[in-house]
Chain A
Amino acid sequence: MLDISVAFNRYKFLGYEFLTWLWFLIENEQNTINEIVQEPMSLEIGNRIVLENLRKEVLESITIQGDDAGLEEGIMALRKGAVVTEINLVYKGNDFESNFTVKGEGLSISGLKVPQSGHVESRKDMEGAVIEKVYLYNRVLQLTDSLFKQFIRLRGSNDWLSKVVPRIRQWIHS
């Protein structure tokens, strides 16, 4: 395998393209998300999205933030060649809601909120709380893994350029 730091820098565009594709799916193809995840759920854009135009000599960064912020400027940025570098997501499933931010370059998760576990008073409570939290965090990680896996399979296939990218372009320019 490639040196880790070389691989990180050379392929971080995959993370940006993944988040850009994900935004496209959320806006246009929720049913595809349900098919990938195979559970009744919804995924929405949360209160923050960051785009960067990496094709220009001087880095351009656009941050859209706020609960009711319009995303039109983000679409404008996509038209100019930007990609999504960070996105806040709201994941709602049966009896479950989570909010978290994914950064494209490392696919690290920050600001992850899951339903509160019970009050911890004893070691037994603490063990129960840890097991519950691990389960809840894993639900979020399994969601992002499933979506990323689908993206990677698509990205390496002929369908990426022949079917997916034209649909994303159509969305950007509509």
Chain B
Amino acid sequence: MGLLSSTVSVTRYKVEGKIEEPILDTIAKGLKENVIKDVDEDISEKKVGWTSFENPFMPDFRGSSFVIGTHMVFSLRIDKKAIPQKTIRKHYAIEAAKRLTESERQFLTRDEKKIVKDHVTDTLMLRIPSTPHLYDLIWDYDSSSLCFFSNLKSANEELETLFLQSFQLSLIRLFPFTLADLTMGLSDGERDNLAKLSPTNFTG
């Protein structure tokens, strides 16, 4: 979901740790090394990588192209290919029949069936285009905060994994406990109290 969309969803993170100077060069390196790779000429079902916010289908992280104001703005892109099971079944039936005719046999062994199915799936994967999914993020390095514009569990998990892999920094998702514990400036005593809390009975 795009941060300029009329309606957005936001998941917030605290970025744990600092990266080596010069910061922008290090971030650009992490982005370039983990840029989205083209999945269309590949048998992979899914590719995950960074892309440019401004030009998500021709990523370019040269210079400070990913910096807007005091924020770093770029996007997570997940390209997926999905082949309907009925399509796989159809092509499997055709391919299996062809092999039986060629070998003049009545049946394929279990291993042969698996080989045929894998071959059909790989061939179809090469033929069908992927569907790109874009999720923007805003990273305020100075305040160690990051807003990710999606609440989708799978997208957030991909973000956390790729961010760590790219920048060697952990993302801590901000939910009630972490928001209170890490961002509210509570004293040690208040943090101890927080950990001891249990649910309130509002009904009396």
Contact = CB atoms under 8 A, between A and B. Distances in A.
A149 B4 contact: no
A79 B203 contact: yes
A69 interface: no
B149 to A, nearest CB: 9
B184 A152 contact: yes
Q: What is the interface of chain B mostly: helix, strand, loop, or mixed?
A: mixed
Interface stretch (A4-12, A26-34, A35-43, A60-68): A4-12
A134 interface: yes
Given A15-B175, A108-B151, A131-B69, A148 B4 contact: no
Contacts of B44: none
B10 interface: yes
B8 A112 contact: yes
B202 A165 contact: yes
Contact of A127 (B69, B182, B184, B193): B69
A106 B11 contact: yes
B93 interface: no
Given A14-B197, A109-B10, A165-B202, A130 B73 contact: yes
B151 A148 contact: no
A161 B198 CA distance: 12
B184 to A, nearest CB: 5
Interface string B4-27: 101111111000000000000000
Nearest to A157: B193
A20 B151 CA distance: 22
B3 interface: yes
A108 B11 contact: yes
Interface string A103-134: 11111111111001100100100110111011
Q: What is the interface of chain A mostly: helix, strand, loop, or mixed?
A: helix
B4 A17 contact: no
B94 interface: no
Chain A interface size band reads 35 or more
Contacts of B73: 130
Which of B195, B201, B202 has most chain A Cβ within 10 Å? Answer: B202
A141 interface: yes
Interface in B140-174: 147, 151, 172-174
Given A80-B203, A169-B202, A4 B69 contact: no
B5 to A, nearest CB: 9
Contacts of A169: 202-204
Given A15-B176, A106-B11, A123 B54 contact: yes
Interface in A76-118: 78-81, 83, 103-113, 116-117
A113 B7 CA distance: 5
B4 A106 contact: no
A80 B204 CA distance: 10
A10 B4 contact: no
Interface of B: 3-4, 6-12, 53-54, 68-69, 71, 73, 138, 147, 151, 172-184, 186, 190, 193-195, 197-204
CB-CB nearest 8 A-B residue pairs? A11-B177, A14-B176, A156-B193, A15-B176, A110-B9, A13-B199, A7-B177, A106-B175
7 contacts: A7-B175, A7-B177, A13-B198, A20-B202, A106-B11, A110-B9, A134-B71
Given A1-B181, A107-B174, 11 more contacts: A1-B178, A11-B177, A15-B175, A81-B201, A108-B10, A108-B175, A113-B7, A130-B4, A131-B68, A137-B10, A169-B204
